[in-house]
Amino acid sequence: MSFADAILRHEPLLVEPRLLAAFVERCSGFTDALKEFFGEPPLARVENGVGILPICGPIGANLSPIEKMLGGCDVADLSASLDAFAADPSVRTLLLDVDSPGGTVTGVPELAVQIAAFPKPSVAFTSGEACSAAYWLASQADDFLATPSASVGSVGVYLALLDSSAALAHSGVFVDVIKAGTYKAAGFPGTSLSDAQRAMLQARVDQIHGMFMSAVMGKRSRVGADSMQGQSFYGVEAAARNLVTGIVSGRAALLARLTTLHPQTP
């Protein structure tokens, strides 16, 4: 809980009041400056019976308020919005409005399952990026529409480690790691991976990739394995490869289509 929230909720505090007030005021000014520079983050909302859930920016779990202010998207917030839309009788259709390059693994498979099981018709849309983790989520909607020039796909997983051992050795520096366990300290700075460590990390990456492809195939059964090797496609090719279900000119056209398909009842 933030200091500001604690004050508003009248929570017990163990801090000198004068210093706390100055800290909260400083943080508030910093937050206001961030909002002015970056703009307000897009919020979940309901328009004409369509529950619109923005999935924008890097996706992560347990993001800090600053990370969210800088454009990050937290899976817990997305999950809570899905629950709210599912319970809201005024929401007839879910729209995932996606513009994200992807993010971390944690929480994404679980959120994808929640989207796939959403109890109302669901549509994903992108006019920017729906790549990697963002594609994993968007692919679980009933339909997925993209603009012709959108970037879609990147069904792949990677883990990058910097091996600086040769550079350090050239400088006369050797990193000696005292450890117990074959896989402990794998990738520790200044060391090289053993064959067993590399195989273990490769197995983890392959496992996530397999989960990713299985989720896509569960909803988009016509997507070929050759389209899920880490590459992204323009919207028109993504449609040809069945990564999306169709092409649309833009968000306004899509919203008009959804309103026509699911008109409001009096």
- As beta bridge partners, residue 25 has none
Residue 264 DSSP code: P
Least reliable range by pLDDT among 27-36, 112-121, 221-230: 27-36
Cα–Cα distance measured from residue 257 to residue 238, given in angstroms and rounded to the nearest whole number: 21
Where are the chain's structural domains? 41-155+225-261
> What are 243-259's pLDDT values in tens digits?
999 999 888 888 877 77
Element (H, E) at 185: none
Mention the CATH class of domain 41-155+225-261. alpha beta
Instruction: Return the axis-axis angle of helices 75-87 and 108-116, rounded to nearest 10°.
Output: 20
More confident residue, 18 or 96: 96
Dist. CA 230–CA 153, nearest whole Å: 7
Residue 150 is predicted with a pLDDT of 97
pLDDT digits (tens, 9 = 90+) for 9-30: 545 555 556 665 665 566 566 5
Q: Annotate 245-262 with b (16+ C-beta within 10 A) or e (fewer).
A: beebeebeebbeebbeee
The pLDDT of residue 1 is 47
Question: Look-up: residue for tokens 């989960």?
Answer: 211
For residue 67, what pLDDT is reported? 80
Residue 199 has pLDDT above 90, yes or no: yes
Q: What is the pLDDT of residue 159?
A: 86
User: What is the mean predicted confidence (pLDDT) over 186-210?
Assistant: 93
In angstroms, what CA-CA distances link 113 with 119, 139, 172?
12, 11, 51
pLDDT at 7 over 50: no
> Where in the chain does DSSP place strands (E)?
45-47, 50-56, 59-60, 73-74, 93-100, 122-131, 143-146, 151-153, 232-234, 246-247
**259 phi/psi in degrees, rounded to 5:** -65, -35
Give me the pLDDT at residue 42, please.
82
- 99/251 Cα distance (integer angstroms): 12
Alpha helices in 74-144 (DSSP H): 75-87, 108-116, 133-138
pLDDT of 31 > 80? The answer is: no
Burial of 65 (0-12, 13-18, 19+ CB in 10 A): middle
Q: Is the pLDDT of residue 35 over 70?
A: no
Please state whether beta strands 232-234 and 45-47 pair in parallel, antiparallel, or not at all (unpaired): unpaired
Read off the pLDDT of residues 48-92 as tens digits, 9 standing for 90 and up: 899 999 999 999 999 888 788 778 899 999 999 999 999 999 999
Predicted pLDDT at 69: 76
State how far the Cα of 89 lies from the Cα of 161, in Å rounded to an integer.
48
| Run of H or E including 119 | none
